[in-house]
Amino acid sequence: MKGDHLNSPKPEVLRVGICGLGTVGGGTLNLLTSNQQLIARRVGMPIEVVNVATRTLDPAKVAGVARSGTDPFAVVKDPEVDLIVETIGGFDPAFEVVKQALANGKHVVTANKALIAEHGNELFAVADENNVSLAYESSVAGGIPVIKALREGLAGNKIDWLAGIINGTGNFILSEMSAHKRQFADVLQQAQEMGYAEADPTFDVEGIDAAHKLTIMGSIAFGMPLRFSSTYTEGISKITPEDISYAKELGYVIKHLGIARRTDAGIEMRVHPTLVSKSRLLAKINGVGNAVMVYGDAVGSTLYNGPGAGAEATASAVVADIIDLARHQMAGATKPVYPGLGYRELDDNLQVMNIDAIESEYYLRILAADKVGVMAKISNVLQDHGIGIDAVIQKEAESESVPIVILTHLAIEAQMNKAIAALESLSDVTGSIMRIRLEPFHGQKI
């Protein structure tokens, strides 16, 4: 063990350095300042921000902080700093900042979901070698303490699955499309104007942000290394108001879910638009909120809901991690209390399944010629592929075509793909078929 930081606790104060004073970093500095006395009462010693690095130094922002500058590595090297908060975002220089901080025997708290999901395996190894912690509650679902729930509160359970609305921008867009029958592009523009979506919205609307968060939660749930590249990722940009409307008619809401599930065939890790029964609590989470449902073999279903983003909400989770580490130091811990992903031994054998191998129910929207016998042909194709039909809506003809909406029973995705290809090759079927997965949450009460 190189790090000896925890072996020489300084119980009088925990000294924090913050790298990056943007939304989350600035929120963290503010929260540690405004609630300093309260936090000291909870921990038993004060937590003090003693050094910050920010790209453009605004003296007003760092008033009261002993040292400040523009170089995050100066904070990392500061021997008078016990714990580094990384709120720079992205990979460069965040990766090096975190790695060097850990190598210097400092704990790191980060809100950087991309960094953890894509480089966490390497960084946790560095943390282990140096006997320090890399904490990341704020990287998933903003202020909702869902990492704690998975890693600690439900630690006695075999987690069978979890499903979450984990991108506030996407949920805001779908909620607005649903409430006001608006087009995706139109609501996206509004979300950008309101500051809910970035100028380049790809990370949010194409599901990459959600996939980062799901990757992290899935690894903690099942005890496997982070496998971001295996997480199936599909965004919401193709969802139309018509799909939302047909789903509603059938008793469903379309939500952008991240689903992680342990099955006999392997681990499912997938982010995609999903039909959810309108009676489920998840279906009732509207706007920029996040919610994660977790099923454990002992506890059953639990749900965690709250703000998934925002300066103060995310800072709440950053500060929770700092308080945890301060409490461990106060208790005289000489080693990290939590392994990086909540397991002392990860299971390398757990493999993420290809999306083709998963089993799901499906919503299909087919545009077909307005002729006698079309529905029979479609039904036959599905039957030939072993796919059962649960519900059908056939609407009135639009010009010469008629939209047919079908909900299927459970089917393997590869088989569904074949059936869709066969349906699209029917001369009576016009254009491509819209396919959205449906999650029944069979047997669940909430």
Of residues 336-355, those binding a second copy (CB under 8 A): 336-339, 342-345, 347
Which residues, 6 or more positions from 37, have their beta carbon under 8 angstroms from its beta carbon? none
DSSP 245-259: HHHHHTTEEEEEEEE
Least distance to a second copy, CB of residue 340, Å: 12
Is 390 a binder of a second copy (CB under 8 A)?
Answer: no
Least distance to a second copy, CB of residue 444, Å: 11
For a second copy, the binding residue among 302, 379, 415, 417 (CB under 8 A) is 302
For a second copy, the binding residue among 328, 365, 385, 435 (CB under 8 A) is 328
* In contact, 255 and 441? CB cutoff 8 Å: no
* In contact, 126 and 59? CB cutoff 8 Å: no
Rounded CA-CA distance 223/231 in Å is 15
Residues 34-93 that bind a second copy (CB under 8 A): 35, 38-39, 41-44
Tokens of 143: 């202020």
For a second copy, the binding residue among 233, 301, 360, 408 (CB under 8 A) is 301
Q: For 172, which DSSP code?
A: H
Residues 354-383 that bind a second copy (CB under 8 A): none
* In contact, 223 and 347? CB cutoff 8 Å: yes
213 flagged as catalytic: yes
CA dist list (Å): 292 to 139, 142, 212, 272: 14, 12, 14, 15
For a second copy, the binding residue among 284, 351, 371, 384 (CB under 8 A) is 284
Instruction: Provide the b/e sequence for 197-211 (b: ≥16 CB within 10 Å).
Output: beeebebbbbbbbbb
Rounded CA-CA distance 434/272 in Å is 13
For a second copy, the binding residue among 120, 258, 296, 403 (CB under 8 A) is 296
**Side chain identity at residue 53, one-letter code:** A
Considering 106, 113, 148, 213, which one is annotated as catalytic?
213
Tokens of 111: 């809100």
**Side chain identity at residue 409, one-letter code:** H
Least distance to a second copy, CB of residue 40, Å: 8
Nearer to a second copy, 87 or 100 (CB): 87
Residues 207-226 that bind a second copy (CB under 8 A): 223
Residues 111-170 that bind a second copy (CB under 8 A): 137, 143-145, 148-149, 152-158
Least distance to a second copy, CB of residue 52, Å: 18
Least distance to a second copy, CB of residue 3, Å: 14
